[in-house]
Amino acid sequence: MSHSVTLNWVASTDAVAGYNVYRGVNPPGNEGATPINPALVTGTTFVDPNVTAGEKLDYVVTAVSAQGVESVHSNEIVVTVPIQPPTNLVAVVS
């Protein structure tokens, strides 16, 4: 079963060219980290399609100006991708 994480945030009150999304641990988006979005996100929603059941993921978002200046990180959010339980459990009594 494939999983994804959808992130939503409130837009920056400043004029921005877009946003970068970082995924990682302790915390994500450390200096030199690469955003997971291939191009600036121009809206306030991003879908991370590359997640695995049981993963614990940390995300932050930054705003990017038209000049390429990046803001400090947003608040960090931690997501655990659920593991689907087995189904159709039956018991045979003898």
- The per-residue pLDDT string of the chain (94 residues; one tens digit each, 9 = 90 and over) reads 789 999 999 999 999 999 999 998 555 666 667 899 999 999 999 999 989 999 888 899 999 999 999 999 999 999 999 998 999 999 999 9
Structural domain range at position 12: 3-80
Q: What CATH number is given to the structural domain containing 32?
A: 2.60.40.10
Nearest to 42 by CA among 58, 20, 68: 20
The reply to whether 68 falls in a domain is yes
SS3 content of the chain, % helix, strand, coil (to 5): 0, 35, 65
What pTM, to 2 d.p., does this model score? 0.83
pLDDT at 39: 96
Parallel, antiparallel, or unpaired: how do β-strands 45-51 and 3-8 relate?
antiparallel
Spatial strand order in the sheet of 56-64: 18-24, 56-64, 77-80
| Total domains in the fold of the chain | 1
pLDDT score recorded for residue 29: 61
